[in-house]
Structure 1
Amino acid sequence: MHRLYAFALAAIIALTGALFLPTFLESQGVQAMELKSIAFEEGKPIPVQYTCDGPDISPPLTWSGVPAGTKSLALICDDPDAPMGTWVHWVYYDIPAEAGGLPEAVRPDEKPSPGGTHGKNDFRKLGYGGPCPPGGTHRYFFKLYALDTILGLGASATKKELLAAMEGHILEQAQLMGTYKRR
Protein backbone atom coordinates (compact mmCIF):
# COMPACT_ATOMS: atom_id res chain seq x y z
CA MET A 1 0.00 0.00 0.00
CA HIS A 2 2.85 2.37 0.78
CA ARG A 3 4.29 1.93 -2.73
CA LEU A 4 0.98 2.90 -4.28
CA TYR A 5 0.75 5.98 -2.04
CA ALA A 6 4.33 6.97 -2.87
CA PHE A 7 3.67 6.53 -6.58
CA ALA A 8 0.47 8.61 -6.41
CA LEU A 9 2.24 11.34 -4.45
CA ALA A 10 5.12 11.40 -6.96
CA ALA A 11 2.63 11.65 -9.83
CA ILE A 12 0.83 14.57 -8.17
CA ILE A 13 4.12 16.39 -7.54
CA ALA A 14 5.24 15.78 -11.12
CA LEU A 15 1.92 17.01 -12.53
CA THR A 16 1.67 20.13 -10.41
CA GLY A 17 5.32 20.89 -11.06
CA ALA A 18 4.68 20.64 -14.80
CA LEU A 19 1.69 22.96 -14.47
CA PHE A 20 3.55 25.62 -12.49
CA LEU A 21 7.02 25.31 -14.02
CA PRO A 22 6.42 27.80 -16.90
CA THR A 23 5.04 30.39 -14.45
CA PHE A 24 7.96 29.81 -12.08
CA LEU A 25 10.50 30.10 -14.89
CA GLU A 26 8.96 33.35 -16.15
CA SER A 27 9.01 34.78 -12.60
CA GLN A 28 12.75 34.05 -12.54
CA GLY A 29 13.31 35.87 -15.84
CA VAL A 30 13.56 32.66 -17.88
CA GLN A 31 11.34 32.48 -20.97
CA ALA A 32 9.81 29.11 -21.79
CA MET A 33 10.33 27.99 -25.37
CA GLU A 34 7.40 28.95 -27.59
CA LEU A 35 6.42 27.95 -31.14
CA LYS A 36 4.12 30.12 -33.28
CA SER A 37 3.03 30.74 -36.86
CA ILE A 38 1.74 33.87 -38.54
CA ALA A 39 -0.39 31.54 -40.72
CA PHE A 40 -2.61 30.18 -37.92
CA GLU A 41 -3.09 30.44 -34.18
CA GLU A 42 -3.02 27.69 -31.57
CA GLY A 43 -6.06 25.43 -31.99
CA LYS A 44 -7.30 27.26 -35.10
CA PRO A 45 -7.69 26.00 -38.70
CA ILE A 46 -4.62 25.67 -40.90
CA PRO A 47 -5.09 27.66 -44.15
CA VAL A 48 -5.69 25.63 -47.31
CA GLN A 49 -2.35 26.59 -48.95
CA TYR A 50 -0.56 24.45 -46.34
CA THR A 51 -2.66 21.35 -47.18
CA CYS A 52 -3.13 18.81 -49.97
CA ASP A 53 -6.11 20.87 -51.15
CA GLY A 54 -3.77 23.76 -51.96
CA PRO A 55 -0.12 24.09 -53.00
CA ASP A 56 0.83 21.90 -49.97
CA ILE A 57 3.68 24.13 -48.79
CA SER A 58 5.01 24.26 -45.26
CA PRO A 59 3.71 27.07 -43.05
CA PRO A 60 6.04 29.75 -41.69
CA LEU A 61 7.09 29.03 -38.11
CA THR A 62 8.84 31.18 -35.51
CA TRP A 63 10.14 30.29 -32.07
CA SER A 64 11.61 31.97 -29.05
CA GLY A 65 12.99 31.04 -25.66
CA VAL A 66 15.45 28.45 -26.95
CA PRO A 67 17.45 27.44 -23.86
CA ALA A 68 21.17 28.06 -23.41
CA GLY A 69 23.23 25.07 -24.41
CA THR A 70 21.04 24.21 -27.40
CA LYS A 71 23.18 22.78 -30.21
CA SER A 72 20.37 21.98 -32.67
CA LEU A 73 16.61 21.85 -33.04
CA ALA A 74 14.29 19.15 -34.35
CA LEU A 75 10.73 19.47 -35.64
CA ILE A 76 8.03 16.84 -35.99
CA CYS A 77 4.51 17.43 -37.30
CA ASP A 78 1.98 14.67 -36.92
CA ASP A 79 -1.75 13.91 -36.88
CA PRO A 80 -2.89 11.67 -34.01
CA ASP A 81 -6.45 11.58 -35.43
CA ALA A 82 -5.58 9.60 -38.56
CA PRO A 83 -7.67 6.43 -38.94
CA MET A 84 -4.64 4.11 -39.12
CA GLY A 85 -2.89 5.71 -36.12
CA THR A 86 -0.68 8.78 -35.86
CA TRP A 87 0.33 10.02 -39.32
CA VAL A 88 3.66 11.83 -39.62
CA HIS A 89 3.65 14.91 -41.86
CA TRP A 90 7.13 16.35 -41.27
CA VAL A 91 10.45 15.18 -39.82
CA TYR A 92 13.20 17.81 -39.76
CA TYR A 93 16.34 17.77 -37.61
CA ASP A 94 19.74 19.36 -37.02
CA ILE A 95 18.13 22.76 -37.57
CA PRO A 96 20.72 25.36 -36.51
CA ALA A 97 20.28 26.42 -32.86
CA GLU A 98 20.46 30.10 -33.80
CA ALA A 99 17.54 29.84 -36.24
CA GLY A 100 14.56 31.81 -35.03
CA GLY A 101 12.13 30.05 -37.31
CA LEU A 102 11.45 28.62 -40.74
CA PRO A 103 10.14 30.49 -43.77
CA GLU A 104 7.04 29.47 -45.66
CA ALA A 105 7.55 26.75 -48.30
CA VAL A 106 10.74 25.07 -47.10
CA ARG A 107 11.89 23.00 -50.07
CA PRO A 108 11.74 19.21 -49.59
CA ASP A 109 15.47 18.81 -50.20
CA GLU A 110 17.66 16.57 -48.07
CA LYS A 111 19.48 19.67 -46.82
CA PRO A 112 17.10 22.65 -47.24
CA SER A 113 18.45 26.20 -47.29
CA PRO A 114 17.43 27.10 -43.70
CA GLY A 115 19.92 24.40 -42.64
CA GLY A 116 19.31 21.01 -41.10
CA THR A 117 18.23 17.73 -42.61
CA HIS A 118 14.85 16.43 -43.73
CA GLY A 119 13.62 13.05 -42.65
CA LYS A 120 10.97 10.94 -44.29
CA ASN A 121 7.28 11.53 -43.57
CA ASP A 122 4.51 8.91 -43.75
CA PHE A 123 3.87 9.89 -47.38
CA ARG A 124 7.33 8.28 -47.88
CA LYS A 125 8.76 11.62 -49.01
CA LEU A 126 11.31 14.08 -47.67
CA GLY A 127 10.07 17.32 -46.20
CA TYR A 128 6.60 18.57 -45.41
CA GLY A 129 3.40 16.85 -46.47
CA GLY A 130 0.39 18.90 -45.44
CA PRO A 131 -2.92 17.94 -43.88
CA CYS A 132 -5.09 15.71 -46.05
CA PRO A 133 -7.60 14.04 -43.73
CA PRO A 134 -9.97 11.47 -45.24
CA GLY A 135 -12.85 12.87 -43.19
CA GLY A 136 -13.68 15.00 -40.20
CA THR A 137 -11.57 17.59 -38.43
CA HIS A 138 -8.05 16.48 -37.55
CA ARG A 139 -5.45 18.02 -35.23
CA TYR A 140 -1.91 18.66 -36.43
CA PHE A 141 0.80 19.00 -33.80
CA PHE A 142 4.00 20.84 -34.71
CA LYS A 143 6.54 19.89 -32.01
CA LEU A 144 9.86 21.67 -31.70
CA TYR A 145 12.68 20.17 -29.62
CA ALA A 146 15.79 21.97 -28.35
CA LEU A 147 18.66 19.47 -28.22
CA ASP A 148 22.04 19.50 -26.49
CA THR A 149 23.67 17.86 -29.51
CA ILE A 150 23.76 17.79 -33.29
CA LEU A 151 22.33 14.40 -34.18
CA GLY A 152 24.15 13.88 -37.48
CA LEU A 153 21.52 11.49 -38.82
CA GLY A 154 21.56 11.05 -42.55
CA ALA A 155 18.62 12.24 -44.63
CA SER A 156 15.46 10.14 -44.61
CA ALA A 157 15.34 9.27 -40.89
CA THR A 158 11.83 8.43 -39.72
CA LYS A 159 10.06 9.90 -36.71
CA LYS A 160 10.82 6.72 -34.77
CA GLU A 161 14.53 6.94 -35.61
CA LEU A 162 14.59 10.65 -34.74
CA LEU A 163 12.89 10.10 -31.38
CA ALA A 164 15.38 7.34 -30.54
CA ALA A 165 18.34 9.58 -31.46
CA MET A 166 16.94 12.49 -29.39
CA GLU A 167 16.48 10.38 -26.26
CA GLY A 168 18.44 11.91 -23.40
CA HIS A 169 19.25 15.06 -25.42
CA ILE A 170 16.03 17.11 -25.15
CA LEU A 171 16.54 20.34 -23.22
CA GLU A 172 13.07 21.72 -23.82
CA GLN A 173 10.20 21.47 -26.25
CA ALA A 174 7.34 23.60 -27.56
CA GLN A 175 4.21 22.79 -29.49
CA LEU A 176 1.74 24.43 -31.85
CA MET A 177 -1.51 22.70 -32.83
CA GLY A 178 -3.67 23.56 -35.80
CA THR A 179 -6.74 21.85 -37.23
CA TYR A 180 -7.96 21.03 -40.72
CA LYS A 181 -11.16 19.67 -42.25
CA ARG A 182 -11.48 19.10 -45.97
CA ARG A 183 -14.45 20.70 -47.72
Structure 2
Amino acid sequence: MLEKLPDVIGHVLHDQRAGLDKLAFNKVGLRSGMAAITVSSLAFQDHAPLPVLYTADGAGTSPSLQWTGLPAQAQSAVLMVEDADAPTPQPLVHAIVVGLPPGDGALREGALDEQEGRGPEWSCGLNSFLQAHWLPPDPPPGHGVHRYAFQLFALSTMPAWSAKPGREEVLEVLQAHALASGCLIGTYERPDGSQKIEQAELSSVTAGPLSA
Protein backbone atom coordinates (compact mmCIF):
# COMPACT_ATOMS: atom_id res chain seq x y z
CA MET A 1 0.00 0.00 0.00
CA LEU A 2 2.80 2.45 0.88
CA GLU A 3 5.11 1.25 -1.89
CA LYS A 4 3.65 3.93 -4.21
CA LEU A 5 4.53 6.83 -1.90
CA PRO A 6 7.19 9.17 -3.32
CA ASP A 7 10.66 8.40 -1.95
CA VAL A 8 10.97 11.99 -0.76
CA ILE A 9 8.28 11.39 1.88
CA GLY A 10 10.31 8.56 3.40
CA HIS A 11 13.42 10.75 3.46
CA VAL A 12 11.58 13.67 5.06
CA LEU A 13 10.15 11.39 7.76
CA HIS A 14 13.42 9.50 8.29
CA ASP A 15 14.04 10.82 11.81
CA GLN A 16 10.41 10.60 12.88
CA ARG A 17 10.04 7.26 14.67
CA ALA A 18 7.98 6.01 17.59
CA GLY A 19 11.07 4.55 19.30
CA LEU A 20 11.97 1.35 21.11
CA ASP A 21 11.18 2.92 24.48
CA LYS A 22 7.48 3.07 23.55
CA LEU A 23 7.16 -0.64 22.80
CA ALA A 24 4.90 -2.53 25.20
CA PHE A 25 7.94 -4.64 26.17
CA ASN A 26 9.68 -1.53 27.52
CA LYS A 27 6.61 0.24 28.92
CA VAL A 28 5.64 -2.63 31.25
CA GLY A 29 7.92 -2.57 34.32
CA LEU A 30 8.63 -6.26 34.89
CA ARG A 31 12.16 -5.91 36.25
CA SER A 32 13.33 -9.51 36.84
CA GLY A 33 10.63 -10.91 34.56
CA MET A 34 11.77 -8.88 31.59
CA ALA A 35 13.19 -11.06 28.80
CA ALA A 36 12.55 -14.22 30.84
CA ILE A 37 10.56 -15.71 27.95
CA THR A 38 12.40 -16.90 24.83
CA VAL A 39 10.61 -16.00 21.59
CA SER A 40 11.89 -17.44 18.31
CA SER A 41 10.83 -18.16 14.75
CA LEU A 42 11.76 -20.70 12.10
CA ALA A 43 11.37 -17.90 9.55
CA PHE A 44 13.99 -15.40 10.78
CA GLN A 45 16.65 -14.80 13.43
CA ASP A 46 16.54 -12.11 16.11
CA HIS A 47 17.37 -8.68 14.63
CA ALA A 48 17.60 -10.21 11.15
CA PRO A 49 15.52 -9.22 8.10
CA LEU A 50 12.02 -10.61 7.69
CA PRO A 51 11.62 -12.59 4.45
CA VAL A 52 9.54 -10.70 1.87
CA LEU A 53 6.88 -13.43 2.09
CA TYR A 54 5.69 -11.99 5.41
CA THR A 55 5.50 -8.35 4.24
CA ALA A 56 3.25 -6.22 2.05
CA ASP A 57 5.73 -6.76 -0.79
CA GLY A 58 5.06 -10.50 -0.71
CA ALA A 59 2.10 -12.68 0.21
CA GLY A 60 1.77 -10.82 3.52
CA THR A 61 1.29 -13.97 5.59
CA SER A 62 2.15 -14.06 9.29
CA PRO A 63 5.40 -15.84 10.27
CA SER A 64 5.59 -18.86 12.54
CA LEU A 65 6.50 -18.19 16.18
CA GLN A 66 7.57 -20.31 19.14
CA TRP A 67 8.06 -19.42 22.81
CA THR A 68 9.36 -21.08 25.99
CA GLY A 69 10.06 -20.06 29.58
CA LEU A 70 6.68 -18.85 30.85
CA PRO A 71 6.56 -18.93 34.67
CA ALA A 72 4.64 -21.77 36.32
CA GLN A 73 2.09 -19.37 37.85
CA ALA A 74 1.03 -17.97 34.47
CA GLN A 75 -2.63 -18.40 33.58
CA SER A 76 -2.55 -17.09 30.00
CA ALA A 77 -0.34 -15.29 27.49
CA VAL A 78 -0.60 -12.36 25.08
CA LEU A 79 1.26 -11.59 21.85
CA MET A 80 1.69 -8.06 20.53
CA VAL A 81 3.65 -7.19 17.38
CA GLU A 82 4.66 -3.53 17.03
CA ASP A 83 6.74 -1.45 14.64
CA ALA A 84 9.15 0.63 16.73
CA ASP A 85 10.14 2.76 13.73
CA ALA A 86 6.73 3.80 12.44
CA PRO A 87 6.61 7.59 11.79
CA THR A 88 3.82 7.89 14.36
CA PRO A 89 3.65 9.03 18.01
CA GLN A 90 3.17 5.43 19.19
CA PRO A 91 4.39 2.15 17.65
CA LEU A 92 2.19 0.78 14.89
CA VAL A 93 0.44 -2.42 15.99
CA HIS A 94 0.68 -5.25 13.46
CA ALA A 95 -0.97 -7.97 15.53
CA ILE A 96 -2.52 -8.68 18.92
CA VAL A 97 -3.33 -12.20 20.10
CA VAL A 98 -5.07 -12.81 23.44
CA GLY A 99 -6.06 -15.98 25.27
CA LEU A 100 -2.91 -17.96 24.46
CA PRO A 101 -2.34 -21.00 26.73
CA PRO A 102 0.04 -20.47 29.70
CA GLY A 103 2.97 -22.65 28.68
CA ASP A 104 5.44 -23.34 25.89
CA GLY A 105 3.59 -22.63 22.69
CA ALA A 106 3.66 -21.78 19.02
CA LEU A 107 1.74 -20.20 16.19
CA ARG A 108 2.04 -21.74 12.75
CA GLU A 109 2.80 -19.72 9.63
CA GLY A 110 -0.34 -17.94 8.45
CA ALA A 111 -2.22 -18.43 11.73
CA LEU A 112 -2.92 -14.70 12.04
CA ASP A 113 -3.95 -14.08 8.44
CA GLU A 114 -7.31 -12.52 7.62
CA GLN A 115 -8.95 -15.85 6.78
CA GLU A 116 -7.69 -17.37 10.03
CA GLY A 117 -7.20 -15.13 13.07
CA ARG A 118 -8.66 -17.49 15.68
CA GLY A 119 -7.61 -20.70 17.44
CA PRO A 120 -9.35 -23.07 19.84
CA GLU A 121 -8.58 -20.76 22.78
CA TRP A 122 -7.02 -17.59 21.40
CA SER A 123 -8.27 -14.79 19.18
CA CYS A 124 -6.89 -11.70 17.44
CA GLY A 125 -7.33 -8.20 18.76
CA LEU A 126 -7.23 -5.04 16.64
CA ASN A 127 -4.15 -3.86 14.78
CA SER A 128 -3.59 -0.14 14.14
CA PHE A 129 -5.82 -0.30 11.06
CA LEU A 130 -8.66 -1.62 13.28
CA GLN A 131 -8.49 -5.07 11.69
CA ALA A 132 -8.47 -8.30 13.70
CA HIS A 133 -5.63 -10.02 11.83
CA TRP A 134 -1.96 -9.73 10.81
CA LEU A 135 -0.97 -6.39 9.28
CA PRO A 136 2.03 -7.06 7.01
CA PRO A 137 5.07 -4.75 7.37
CA ASP A 138 4.69 -1.91 4.87
CA PRO A 139 7.26 0.83 5.62
CA PRO A 140 7.48 3.97 3.46
CA PRO A 141 10.12 3.79 0.68
CA GLY A 142 13.36 5.45 1.75
CA HIS A 143 12.42 5.62 5.45
CA GLY A 144 15.17 3.18 6.44
CA VAL A 145 15.13 -0.02 8.45
CA HIS A 146 12.06 -0.73 10.59
CA ARG A 147 12.22 -2.97 13.65
CA TYR A 148 9.19 -5.23 14.22
CA ALA A 149 8.95 -6.45 17.81
CA PHE A 150 7.19 -9.78 18.42
CA GLN A 151 6.45 -9.45 22.16
CA LEU A 152 5.09 -12.29 24.30
CA PHE A 153 3.74 -11.66 27.82
CA ALA A 154 2.75 -14.14 30.54
CA LEU A 155 -0.24 -13.08 32.64
CA SER A 156 -1.21 -14.04 36.19
CA THR A 157 -4.85 -14.28 35.14
CA MET A 158 -7.15 -15.03 32.21
CA PRO A 159 -8.68 -11.58 31.66
CA ALA A 160 -12.23 -11.01 30.48
CA TRP A 161 -11.15 -9.46 27.19
CA SER A 162 -13.48 -7.42 25.04
CA ALA A 163 -14.46 -8.99 21.70
CA LYS A 164 -11.51 -7.37 19.86
CA PRO A 165 -9.11 -5.69 22.29
CA GLY A 166 -6.84 -2.92 21.07
CA ARG A 167 -3.44 -1.67 22.23
CA GLU A 168 -4.66 0.48 25.12
CA GLU A 169 -6.78 -2.31 26.61
CA VAL A 170 -3.88 -4.75 26.37
CA LEU A 171 -1.43 -2.29 27.93
CA GLU A 172 -3.76 -1.75 30.90
CA VAL A 173 -4.01 -5.51 31.47
CA LEU A 174 -0.23 -5.93 31.13
CA GLN A 175 0.45 -3.20 33.68
CA ALA A 176 -1.79 -5.00 36.18
CA HIS A 177 -1.13 -8.69 35.49
CA ALA A 178 2.09 -9.27 33.47
CA LEU A 179 4.56 -11.69 35.08
CA ALA A 180 7.22 -12.08 32.41
CA SER A 181 7.99 -11.08 28.85
CA GLY A 182 10.07 -11.96 25.83
CA CYS A 183 10.83 -10.18 22.57
CA LEU A 184 11.99 -11.19 19.09
CA ILE A 185 12.82 -8.45 16.58
CA GLY A 186 12.65 -8.81 12.82
CA THR A 187 13.65 -5.99 10.47
CA TYR A 188 12.42 -4.83 7.09
CA GLU A 189 13.35 -1.96 4.79
CA ARG A 190 11.71 -0.86 1.57
CA PRO A 191 14.45 0.76 -0.54
CA ASP A 192 13.87 4.02 -2.39
CA GLY A 193 14.07 4.39 -6.17
CA SER A 194 17.80 5.11 -6.31
CA GLN A 195 18.60 2.00 -4.27
CA LYS A 196 16.45 -0.12 -6.58
CA ILE A 197 18.30 1.22 -9.63
CA GLU A 198 21.66 0.46 -7.98
CA GLN A 199 20.50 -3.06 -7.12
CA ALA A 200 19.30 -3.63 -10.69
CA GLU A 201 22.60 -2.38 -12.12
CA LEU A 202 24.57 -4.60 -9.73
CA SER A 203 22.46 -7.61 -10.71
CA SER A 204 23.08 -6.97 -14.41
CA VAL A 205 26.84 -6.63 -13.86
CA THR A 206 26.94 -9.80 -11.76
CA ALA A 207 24.98 -11.70 -14.38
CA GLY A 208 27.43 -10.66 -17.11
CA PRO A 209 26.78 -10.67 -20.87
CA LEU A 210 24.60 -13.40 -22.33
CA SER A 211 26.51 -16.03 -24.25
CA ALA A 212 25.55 -16.67 -27.88
TM-score (norm 2): 0.68
Match of 1:64 in 2: 68
Partner SS state of residue 104, structure 1: coil
% same residue: 37
Match of 1:91 in 2: 96
Shift of 1:87: 0.8
Q: 1:56 to 1:67 in 2, by over 3 A?
A: same
Q: 1:163 to 1:109 in 2, by over 3 A?
A: farther
AA partner of residue 40 (structure 2): K
Match of 1:148 in 2: 156
Shift of 1:182: 1.7
Q: Give structure 1 regions of 4+ aligned residues with deviation exceeding 3 angstroms.
A: 107-111
Shift of 1:141: 0.5
AA partner of residue 175 (structure 1): C
1:45 to 38, 42, 49: 49
Q: Please list, as runs of the form range in 1=range in 2, the aligned pairs for 1:7-18 lying within 5 A after superposition.
A: none
Unaligned runs of 5+ in 2: 1-30, 192-212
Specify which structure has the bigger relative contact order, considering alpha-carbon pairs within 8 angstroms and separated by 6 or more residues: 2
| Contact 1:33–1:174, Cα closer than 8 Å, also in 2 | yes
CA distance in 1, matches of 2:155, 2:78: 8
| Deviation per residue, 1:14-43 (Å, 9 max, x gap) | xxxx6xx69xxxxxxxx9320000100010
Shift of 1:118: 1.0
Unaligned runs of 5+ in 1: 1-17, 23-30
Match of 2:205 in 1: none
CA distance in 1, matches of 2:190, 2:40: 23
Match of 2:130 in 1: 124
| Contact 1:147–1:170, Cα closer than 8 Å, also in 2 | yes
TM-score (norm 1): 0.78
| Contact 2:110–2:116, Cα closer than 8 Å, also in 1 | no
CA distance in 1, matches of 2:41, 2:175: 27
| Contact 2:117–2:133, Cα closer than 8 Å, also in 1 | no
| Contact 1:109–1:126, Cα closer than 8 Å, also in 2 | no
Work out which of the two has the higher radius of gyration on C-alpha atoms and give 1 or 2. 2
